Amino acid sequence: MKKSMAKNATILGLFALVCTAIVSLVDYATKDEIALQQQRQLLSVLGQIIPADLHDNDLSQSCTFLTDPALGSSQPLPAYIATLQGQPVAIAMETIAPDGYSGAIKIIVAVDASGKVLGVRTLQHQETPGLGDKIDHSKSDWVNSFIGKRVQGNEDPAWRVKKDGGEFDQFTGATITPRAYVGALRRTIAYFDANKHQIFSQVRQCEVNHE
């Protein structure tokens, strides 16, 4: 009996090692392709939220890192600066809504140099299908409601959902998600407005980790 148990344990151990090795090999073999797909997705999103006729630089190669509690993360988050003839004209900032219904929501928001919203996209979320997932542009045009808006300070009362006295629609049966989303955008844009000169003058570095 003991020999049989030992044999089975050895077989299971070897099986686990083989599976681990296969997973590692697959991960190694596909990491370059994954990185390429992430880069393509990034370029697509940046092209959607910052009009091409607004700038003459390569957005993916003109990025910097921002670190501030207003961005919803203790980790540096990338921002992509659009320039025209060398002068900054807009920025796309990644930010986090940490208080989504099903967890953190990763967002990218583009504003021009005056702080006017050019576009918004959801990069990652786990919100409920059919309810909170209306923050996904492929599911709903709700994120377009921010275009053309400006934030008047970090406590701007307009930048809340209508249920809280603001001007943005909540979703039927799902208020937490849009409330978190609007709050994250309000804080991020207010942070940019207060720090734009420093942000635009930061060193540009583009070794961005998209894991």
pLDDT of 137-155, one tens digit each?
A: 999 999 999 999 999 999 9
Non-local (6+) Cβ contacts of 32 within 8 A are none
Average pLDDT over residues 95-114: 96
Instruction: Give the confidence band of 23 by pLDDT, cuts at 50, 70, 90.
Output: low
Position 209 scores a pLDDT of 44
* Count of structural domains, the chain: 1
173: which residues sit within 8 A by CB, 6+ positions away?
Answer: 131
Range of the domain at 163: 48-201
Give a yes or no: residue 151 inside a domain.
yes
DSSP 3-state assignment of 169?
Answer: coil
Backbone phi and psi for residue 18, each to the nearest 5 degrees, phi listed first = -65, -45
Give yes or no for residue 125 having a pLDDT over 70. yes
Q: Is residue 57 part of a domain?
A: yes
pLDDT of residue 20: 61
Question: Could you tell me if residue 30 is inside a domain?
Answer: no
